[in-house]
Amino acid sequence: MKLLLLLLAVFVLLWLLRASVRRHLPPRAKTAPPTAPRPMLTCLHCGLHLPGDEALPGRGGVFCDEAHRAAFEKAHPGS
């Protein structure tokens, strides 16, 4: 009987220990791993931040679209 109680105590202790460890572990990530960050650039005309691969290169910098590039180059003809 004494042995049975001892086994039961050990079992309960291990169960509590396992529950405690699980509580302190960080939750598993459910989303896909993040991709590498893309460099952000700023439109010279309006200041909009956009990914580098979507930016439109122009005189003196990058722009968010063709209209802003044209407007900037019209306003700054010399640069």
Classified as helix, coil or strand, 39 is coil
Binding window for Zn ion (CB under 5 A); candidates: 16-24, 26-34, 51-59, 62-70: 62-70
Residue 64 dihedral angles phi and psi, to the nearest 5°: -80, -30
Q: Is residue 55 a contact residue for Zn ion (CB under 5 A)?
A: no
Least Cα distance to 73 among 58, 62, 52, 56 occurs for 58
Minimum CB separation from Zn ion for residue 62, in Å? 9
**Residue placing its CB nearer to Zn ion in the complex, 41 or 45:** 45
How near is the Cβ of 77 to Zn ion at its closest, in Å? 18
At residue 41, φ and ψ (nearest 5 deg) are -120, 165
At CA 19, angle to CA 18 and CA 24, rounded to 5?
Answer: 100
**Residue 63 CB, nearest distance to Zn ion (Å)?**
6
Q: Which residues bind to Zn ion, rule: CB under 5 A?
A: 43, 45-46, 48, 64, 68
